[in-house]
Amino acid sequence: MSYCVNPVCPKPENPANALTCLACGAKLLLRDRYRMEQMLGQGGFGATFLGRDEALPGQPYCVVKQLRPTSTAPHVLKMARDLFRREAKTLGKIGSHPQIPRLLDYFEATTEFYLVQEYISGLTLQQEVKQSGPFSEQGVKQFLSECLPILQYIHSQEVIHRDIKPANLIRREQDRRLVLIDFGAVKDQVNPEAASLSDQTALTSYAIGTPGYAPPEQMAMRPVYASDIYALGVTCLFLLTAKTPKDMNYNPATGETMWREHVHVSDHFAEVLSKMLEVSVRHRYQSADEVLRALELEPYLDSLAQGMINTAVSPPNGSLAFSRSLARDDTPSEGGSLSRTAQMAKAIRERRAKMEPAASRLSGGRLAVSRSISGPLTTGQPSSAGKKGHTPPRKLTAEDVLTYYTKGRRDFGAQDLSNLNLQGANLESAIFHDAKLLKVNLQGACLSETNFSQANLNQANLRDAILTKAYLNHSDLQGADLRGADLSGAYLTNANLRGANLCGAILTGAKVTDEQLAVAKTNWMTVRPDGKRGIFK
């Protein structure tokens, strides 16, 4: 079917190969290449269509967004055109991220403006919750571990999304990764001196965001990066409860959503959500990085607090002095904020205040020897001179990885995990983006839907591993042993397979080219993407 994009067309549905609309006479091929098949949605600013690009082989799907200024006054069209071009430039810049749709084209036709973007096949989180029900606490933490890095990226590009909500997050069918969609055509303010109030409203009213998900400062047309943090927090509430903001009461005095009665999560995660949902920007997390740090600390608070309670008589090398400094260092850094150590100590003391008093754990008036303190990425050990200083980073052990995974951590991005023995481990849906995994032993491991994008897997042992629907985009698998591995549906686009041993591997439905496989080792037992067996030459 061909769908007419004329907003006043009385009957937009047309035969599949028609060139002009039978009802209104409008051209059906935009820019002589894009044919719309159906409308995906519409609002006061325009509409979004599912189309096909007939100029490319296979006529791939694309998403076409149409902006319709409500006024045709010349100065309004000029402002709309300027903002449209600025937004297209922004989308072109941020579309290089693998979890943001690429901008494919943009153009103007008569008084309407069009953006053409990559089509993402999959269910939105709104549809997913409707089909399968609410997420568990762990499921929402996993969601945050994947979504927050996307926010880090777009904010680093000086872009505010302004409309984060379940309907704008799609779980991509091919690799199960979350994709953030719908940055809109225009999301900027219009200079009030350049247009009348009515014209200004016509261009900007839809850029406010979705009521209930957008925080007060955004509704007042003053969005900041923390505005996206608030919307992400509201999205977490929906995932936990299947309730939209309008389904929850709010405090009329403060404007806060009364969500705690609907949510059953751990105390620490409730505190994280509460800070994400602060009505006051000043008291909210200011960046995605701050939320990630808070979530990374959570699995270790109990053990850290217990270690602080059991502070001992001074062991050798001044470690008691270090423990006390960790517990008491509230001195602001030069920038005026608490140091990382002080932040950790503050969190420990808050957790300790909820625990049974230390006196009940003491015996005979003496304290036990202090336990060593360790976090996810640091040793927590003082220098040999006993000086109060930095906690040097340490490489994670195989036991660390398995322990953190069991406790709910999934993101091991950018970590050096080379040479670790993780044979037979279950690391399904983990994230190893940009990680170093040289010579790692993952033989027989369950790595289904795991993200290895841009990871270095040189000479890794992945023999008989389960890598179904694994995301290996731009990964380096040179010399890796993948004999007997199940790579069904894996995404291997741009992966380096030079010298990789794929004898007996299953590649049914995998996204990989013959050119990539020609430099790998294959045999008659290798199952090709088309399901047939054979050697690639």
Which residues are designated catalytic? 163
At 300, list the tokens: 């270790």
CB-count burial class (<10 Å; 0-12, 13-18, 19+) for 313: exposed
| 3 state DSSP class of 225 | helix
Give the dihedral sign, CA 448/142/295/265: negative
The C-alpha atoms of residue 18 and residue 73 are separated, in whole angstroms, by 33
At 119, list the tokens: 């089509």
The C-alpha atoms of residue 427 and residue 414 are separated, in whole angstroms, by 16
Tell me which residue has tokens 């103007």: 108
Query: What are the start-end ranges of the H helices in 244-397?
Result: 267-276, 288-297, 301-309, 319-328, 340-353
CA-CA distances (angstroms) from residue 439 to 393, 454, 464? 21, 16, 16
The closest alpha carbon to 357, from 299, 394, 290, 310, belongs to 310
C-alpha 418: how far from its chain's center? 25
| 3 state DSSP class of 321 | helix
The C-alpha atoms of residue 291 and residue 301 are separated, in whole angstroms, by 16
Q: How many CB atoms lie within 10 A of CB 202?
A: 21
Tell me which residue has tokens 């006993």: 386
Query: Which stretches of 406-481 are assigned E, i.e. beta strand?
Result: none
Total residues belonging to the chain:
537
CA-CA distances (angstroms) from residue 455 to 349, 477, 497? 37, 9, 13
Question: CB under 8 Å to 260, separation ≥6 — which residues?
Answer: 270
The C-alpha atoms of residue 337 and residue 318 are separated, in whole angstroms, by 27
CB 241 within 8 A of CB 219: no
Longest pairwise C-alpha distance within the chain: 94
Q: What is the DSSP letter of 299?
A: G
Q: How many CB atoms lie within 10 A of CB 537?
A: 7
The C-alpha atoms of residue 83 and residue 69 are separated, in whole angstroms, by 12
- At 362, phi and psi to the nearest 5? -90, 155
| 3 state DSSP class of 152 | helix
The C-alpha atoms of residue 64 and residue 477 are separated, in whole angstroms, by 36
